[in-house]
Structure 1
Amino acid sequence: MPLTPTALREGINRVAPSVLEATSAPGALVTVGVKGQPLLTLPFGVADVSTGAPLTVDHTMRLGSLGKLLVSAAVVKLADAGRLQLDEPIDTHLPFPVTNPKGGTITLTKALAMLTGAATDGYEWTGTPEPAGEYVKRELARDATWEYGTGASRFVDSADTGQWRSSSFMYQVAPLVAEAVTGMPLGHYAKAEIFDPLGMHDTAWWDSPNWAAVRERCTTGHMLFGQHATPLPWMECAPYHSVGVVMTTSDFTKLMLALMSRGGVFGDNVVHTILEPRTTARSDVNVGLGVHTVGNPDAKDYCIRAVGHYAFGWWAVSLGYPNADTPFCVTVCTNLADQTDVFNPPEQYPFGILAYEIASWIRDGKVDSRGLGDRSGSESYVMGLVAADRFAGLMGADLRKEEIDAMADGTRPLGRRPAVDFDRDLFVQGFLDMRAAVRDRRVEEFLATDCPVGGVFRKLARKAWGSKNFDEPAPVRFWLHQLER
């Protein structure tokens, strides 16, 4: 049974504040778009920690590399109209050469799929960007990165190797081609041909006619150091089309829904060209043009994914499921970048935790917001679950009740004071509940239905301990999987 908008809203309102609290995230914008229904956008937290100003639905965010999909959509749309060719040399319409000194031919397709042989992001920061064409021409001729003053070449191998390497600098070349064939800034072309027709009125690049209005409503970005959030100064970047877009999560969700609908602004050819896998970034992630795709294109859980990061101050992800019973998209942006592990998979960070959890609710048709009222209770209970899993599940040890009590009574914090207190009774209860589930051989069923702490709060407990993966309690399944091979 599909989720009602009311149930979805209530679930997000219950879970999102806990995610922000547990991860020390200043704020988040969450948008859910379900085909045929109005968008649901919910704000949480603050726009700036130094002022405490609340984040609202009217705020915009810096969505970083999510803007690459905007670039690819505009370029592929022009190619579909016959105004340029994706597989011709990228400098065909440019007044300067764009070549890889290590060999191979750079095309628009390779630039949009990050297959040019360049391996640096080229995030050169500036107060006011110069015209992108002047910047790209100069930096290509210089062929040296700014990172750490090394002066290393931007290119590490030939453009013909087919090796995926992130390069926001080379992505910036594609908009120059679009500008050459249209005779106008990409911000103007995209607004007229894509943004306005889709109702994306809160989206802008530095060269967009509505830049000032969209920019002035943007949140402050923050670096997160443990539990300290540090607000960042406003800075622009030289490759401003590639990573510098400012927009709302609502607007990006509109774009994703249009991409999944294959009609209106985007026809079948445009959609197919954008989503066609060009290579792989990881074993299960295919690289399209401005997006990644995960899974079998015919499966219900097939996912179109875009991930964005800007200036170590914002992180965002958008997940689209075109094959779900009712196609939908979830977009989440937080105004922070956690410095614990800067480039982990999105599932490890607050924006990813929220997006994947909400998406699972929609796909399953039910909200899982089970929790014990506060972080102290949930974290203590999950400690008991994990301890029992190790003893009863992995080692088959049947501890006596007095031994479990002794473990709980002897628990002490080490180092700095923990964010939440320890509840010894809930630790014991978690241990006993998991042990019973192991004995009855129903761990999966217990976690899915009877456990009083749902999946998202179990993840948050593990993240509070510094965990880098969120496998459910039951690592014994890992060993079982090895035996099954």
Structure 2
Amino acid sequence: MTTKVNKYAILERNIFFVFNLLVAVLSSQCTKPQLKTEEPFAKARTQQVDQLIKTFQSDFSIPGISLAMVSGDSVYCTTMGGANAANKPFTVNTPFLAGSISEPMLATAVLKLADDGKLDLDEPIVNYLPYFKMGGNSYQKITIRHLLTHTSGIPHYNIMWDMPNYNPNALEVTTRSIGSQLPEFKEPGTQVKRSPYNYDILADVICKVTHKPFEDYMKTNVFGALGMKSSSFIKVKGTAMPFKTSNWLTHTTKQDTLYPYNRENGGSGGFHTTATDIASWMFTLLNKGRARRAELFGSGFYDEVLSTRFKTGKSTAIGYGWEITEEKGQRIFLKGSQYGGFSNLVVLIPEKRIGVAVSSNIAGEFNPANLGKLVAQWLTGSALTQPKMPISLAMSKALARTGEISDAFKTFSALKKTEPNSYDFSAQALTQFGINLLHRVHNKQQALQAFQFCVQQYPNSAFAYLNLAEAYVVAKDARNTRLAISKAQVLPDDSGSKASYLSYLKENLEILEEKKS
């Protein structure tokens, strides 16, 4: 009898153990956040945005353009046009150069290394790169966080790709190249000075910390985990080629012969991706990693990735590779570039789980990627509107047809009456006509006439008078240069760069007057 009781007791304990184990497993599954799955947009909405892209691509003579958008659980990608001169279709899986969208992507990798305990964001760079050096002593205080937020004070240098360096030490060459330069300000972390070198040096840090090329680390540890199968920090086969404007009157384009990639600047501008991959990336960010693939990092990590780090104005700030604006209590994360014949813009509104990315294989007078802002507004509830065409396009084509600049002015006046909502008639758009004539067509006389027409239309625009002054400098007319400068000085700044433009013009006026004397 005793033996039987013991057997029943053991059986009862085993059943109780299994029951509690099942309860624990089921409980853990219930409390674990559900992974999000991408869903398609409603057909009516995709048809709207397809028509917008088609009209935009045609009106603005854009070779190829892609759009990726996320709203809640819905994801959609679309493309139009060609990827190269042979008119290979620009598809949702066509790789393209994303320019400085590289920065928030690279920042994700750096934050992951910090999360893994492999580096400290507040440690000085010299602790990781002993050869990092600048003039003075304050450079020794520059930390990884300062590089991430462009608060290091490292000067801005134009990126060169006409003599690319693909060697293993290319990033170290970049780091060492600023050894004799002084930081822009004495105390790092006190101001924002945007420089691509911040992220090129961060790529060098990744190499030294992981003991492998940063491109390999990104491919395996970031792109692979995010499901971005076609993304890389090197140019891959089938990449879309950049185009440039070949005629600034007819605005015809041709494929560029120079591809904008140099491994020395790979960290700041070497990111290649596709519309499909960038949609996947936005979906993962907006869902804090809870995408259908797996949880790449914890949700707290994504709060850090999309965090405000340094205020740059009343409603503007900078994050880890992002520009941030605040509108109606909402943070909007932006990253855009016009780089080497490519235009890119990513817009994220985390609170609404909205993301839009627009990319094109041409850059120049206008930025095709700005279409992304209109689509983002549409996803928040606004009407979907076609971007206004710069009036300079219509005026340039009128001049190309007849050769008479008076016909360009007549086109401006006629369209302002008949199609006021289809074109951008602002002082900036009109002035662009003169800028093209002066700097691209190299017709000084017609440029001067264009700027004179602009100040007639916009007598209260400092921007118009500043450009008129530059045309007079080129014409070596010191007297009228001085008069145009004096007009611009008393008008409100509608250019955003009045002070620097005035300084440039005054310096050139002094040189002009010295030569005459």
- TM-score normalised by L of structure 1: 0.67
- The match for 2:377 among 360, 377, 385 is 360
Shift in Å at residue 323 of structure 1?
Answer: 1.4
Judge which range, 275-284 or 60-69, deviates more: 275-284
2:87 maps to 1:52 = yes
SS of the equivalent of 2:127 reads: coil
Residue of structure 1 equivalent to 2:212: 184
Which ranges of structure 1 fall in alignment gaps of 5 or more residues?
Answer: 144-152, 341-347, 381-411, 432-452, 469-485
Residue of structure 2 equivalent to 1:307: 336
Shift in Å at residue 84 of structure 1?
Answer: 0.8
Which ranges of structure 2 fall in alignment gaps of 5 or more residues?
Answer: 1-39, 290-294, 396-401, 434-517
Q: Percent identity?
A: 20
The whole-number CA distance in structure 2 between the counterparts of 1:155 and 1:370 is 40
Shift in Å at residue 14 of structure 1?
Answer: 1.6
The 1:414/1:303 distance shift into structure 2, 3 A limit, reads: farther
Letter in 2 for 1:23: F
The whole-number CA distance in structure 2 between the counterparts of 1:269 and 1:123 is 35
Contact 1:375–1:420 (8 Å) recurs in 2: no
Letter in 1 for 2:308: P
Q: Deviations over 1:337-387 (max 9, x none)?
A: 11x4xxxxxxx62211x211111111106544699xx999xx99xxxxxxx
Residue of structure 2 equivalent to 1:250: 276
The whole-number CA distance in structure 2 between the counterparts of 1:46 and 1:420 is 34
Shift in Å at residue 332 of structure 1?
Answer: 0.3
The whole-number CA distance in structure 2 between the counterparts of 1:44 and 1:58 is 12
Contact 1:116–1:158 (8 Å) recurs in 2: no
The whole-number CA distance in structure 2 between the counterparts of 1:176 and 1:108 is 11
- The match for 1:108 among 124, 144, 169 is 144
Letter in 2 for 1:134: E
Shift in Å at residue 175 of structure 1?
Answer: 2.0
Contact 2:244–2:363 (8 Å) recurs in 1: yes
The 1:420/1:268 distance shift into structure 2, 3 A limit, reads: farther
2:24 maps to 1:24 = no
Shift in Å at residue 314 of structure 1?
Answer: 0.5
Greater C-alpha radius of gyration? 2
Residue of structure 2 equivalent to 1:199: 227
Structure 1 residues 56-455: aligned runs within 5 Å:
56-99=91-134, 101=136, 103-104=138-139, 105-125=141-161, 126-130=163-167, 131-141=169-179, 143=180, 153=181, 155-160=183-188, 162-206=190-234, 215-224=236-245, 226=248, 227-232=251-256, 233-237=258-262, 238-263=264-289, 264-281=295-312, 284-295=315-326, 299=329, 301-311=330-340, 313-324=341-352, 327-338=353-364, 340=365, 349-352=367-370, 354-364=371-381, 367-368=384-385, 415=405
Shift in Å at residue 5 of structure 1?
Answer: 2.7
The whole-number CA distance in structure 2 between the counterparts of 1:370 and 1:93 is 47
Contact 1:68–1:242 (8 Å) recurs in 2: yes
The whole-number CA distance in structure 2 between the counterparts of 1:368 and 1:197 is 37
The whole-number CA distance in structure 1 between the counterparts of 2:410 and 2:232 is 41
The 1:302/1:217 distance shift into structure 2, 3 A limit, reads: same
- TM-score normalised by L of structure 2: 0.63
RMSD: 3.6
Structure 1 residues 30-41: aligned runs within 5 Å:
30-37=67-74, 39-41=75-77
The whole-number CA distance in structure 1 between the counterparts of 2:273 and 2:99 is 10
Count of matched residue pairs:
373
SS of the equivalent of 1:74 reads: helix
Contact 1:121–1:167 (8 Å) recurs in 2: yes
Letter in 2 for 1:47: A
Shift in Å at residue 69 of structure 1?
Answer: 1.0
The 1:316/1:427 distance shift into structure 2, 3 A limit, reads: closer
| Larger helix percent | 2
Shift in Å at residue 460 of structure 1?
Answer: 9.5
The 1:92/1:24 distance shift into structure 2, 3 A limit, reads: same
The whole-number CA distance in structure 2 between the counterparts of 1:140 and 1:359 is 39
Letter in 2 for 1:289: Y
Contact 1:276–1:288 (8 Å) recurs in 2: yes
Shift in Å at residue 157 of structure 1?
Answer: 2.5
The 1:462/1:31 distance shift into structure 2, 3 A limit, reads: farther
Letter in 2 for 1:361: W
The 1:245/1:370 distance shift into structure 2, 3 A limit, reads: closer
The whole-number CA distance in structure 2 between the counterparts of 1:121 and 1:370 is 32
Contact 1:123–1:169 (8 Å) recurs in 2: no
The whole-number CA distance in structure 1 between the counterparts of 2:317 and 2:424 is 26
SS of the equivalent of 1:258 reads: helix
The structure with higher relative contact order (CA 8 Å, sep 6+) is: 1
Shift in Å at residue 319 of structure 1?
Answer: 0.6
The whole-number CA distance in structure 1 between the counterparts of 2:53 and 2:406 is 26
Letter in 2 for 1:267: G
